[in-house]
Amino acid sequence: MKKPDFSALARQNIRSLTAYEAKEIPCRVKLDANESPYAPDLALSSQVMASLNRYPDPQGLALKKALSKEYAVAERQILLGNGSDEIIYNLIIAFGGPVLYPVPTFSMYGIISQAIGEQGIGIPLQSDFSLDLRKMLAAIRKLQPKIVFLSSPNNPTGNSFERKAIEEILHVSDGIIVVDEAYQPFSKEKSFIPELKRFSNLAVLRTFSKIGLAALRLGYIIADEGMIAEVNKVRLPYNVNALSQALALESLCRKTESRAGVKKIVAERTRVVKELKSMPGVESCPSDANFILFRLSNADAVHKALIRSGVLVRNMSVMIPDALRVTIGTPDENAAFCAALRTIIKERS
């Protein structure tokens, strides 16, 4: 039997898709994936370990109960996902497209839309990376998207979108507005979760990934219970494993620890911004998240030179010309990054 041409066998929309590169370049200082540098000190109970032969709680009730207390919402307003990525996937499966989002933003909104065969529409941000409200509203009126994704703070630009602008989009849209708050814990802006009382078309997406528990793959969405019921229909059974459920629950019980980590990262962010500002030819963008986008000439070459110095940052220059994105790490990691970048700039000038 001849080996099939798998690419030709794949659906049309899959053929032109490229796999999300979660590249693993080994580096001493890893500042490319917006992870927290602080691993919480959690342990699994003997009760959890004694039940590994059983399927996990399919609804994740204990965790949902804790989250409902934390945010003063009903348990039926919460859905858990194997990472918030999975929830983005389930939302688009359940409601379909068109799917609209500002660009540049988190690439999964577009990748998942294409994978499912739904139209993804990117509306360019303004040059200061704020929402182009006029264009957004016009596109929403004209194209009637089923879902709008707003990452606020936005990955990879780092800024939060203006609250008034998001509220206007909520008012105008007949579809679902997902405010992706993956980075909200690092922001000076308040969460949109309390706004769920005012807007039934609002959904707030959250994750444990950026606050110290990326390995768990655990995200959740909070929305109107009618919306949650529809998404729940396409959720695969047992999508969140028992170990992740138990560890996330434990981390919620020990909030002070994760808050302390966030506080340290926010303080370090101020320091790194100041350092970047003092480097000739480097333009850094204001950040409300646990990373900073910065621009300089020859970003590709600088990215490679940083890797040679043992520092891995994310090269964003395909999406944003001359842009690199650095995640805030420990004070030592940040110092290593700043020293390496300073040296590289000096050598190149």
Distance in angstroms (rounded) separating the CA atoms of residues 30 and 70: 32
Structure tokens at 138: 């016009």
Check binding of 180 to ligand PLP (CB under 6 A): yes
Q: Which is nearer to ligand PLP, 29 or 205 (CB)?
A: 205
Check binding of 222 to ligand PLP (CB under 6 A): no
Among 84, 159, 173, 187, binds ligand PLP (CB under 6 A): 84
What CA–CA distances, in Å, run from 70 to 214, 222, 249, 253? 20, 12, 11, 10
| Stretch touching ligand PLP by CB under 6 A, among 78-86, 195-203, 262-270, 294-302 | 78-86
Check binding of 181 to ligand PLP (CB under 6 A): no
3-state class (DSSP) for residue 142:
helix
Q: 292 φ, ψ to 5°? A: -130, 130
Contact characters 242-261, ligand PLP, x per CB under 6 A: --------------------
> Count of alpha carbons within 13 Å of 13, Cβ hemisphere only?
11
**Beta carbons of 131 and 165 less than 8 angstroms apart:** yes
User: Residues 76, 153, 142, CA angle at the centre, nearest 5°?
Assistant: 75
User: Residues 288, 291, 297, CA angle at the centre, nearest 5°?
Assistant: 115
Check binding of 209 to ligand PLP (CB under 6 A): yes
Check binding of 158 to ligand PLP (CB under 6 A): no
CB of residue 49 to ligand PLP, shortest distance in Å: 25
3-state class (DSSP) for residue 227:
helix
| Stretch touching ligand PLP by CB under 6 A, among 11-19, 77-85, 95-103, 249-257 | 77-85
Among 36, 160, 207, 244, binds ligand PLP (CB under 6 A): 207
Check binding of 329 to ligand PLP (CB under 6 A): no
What CA–CA distances, in Å, run from 325 to 25, 254, 289, 290, 318? 15, 30, 11, 10, 12
Q: What single-letter DSSP state applies at residue 75?
A: G
CB of residue 149 to ligand PLP, shortest distance in Å: 9
CB of residue 101 to ligand PLP, shortest distance in Å: 10
Q: Which is nearer to ligand PLP, 95 or 106 (CB)?
A: 106
User: Residue with the closest Cβ to ligand PLP?
Assistant: 83
- Contacts to ligand PLP by CB under 6 A: 34, 83-85, 106, 151, 155, 180, 182, 207, 209, 219
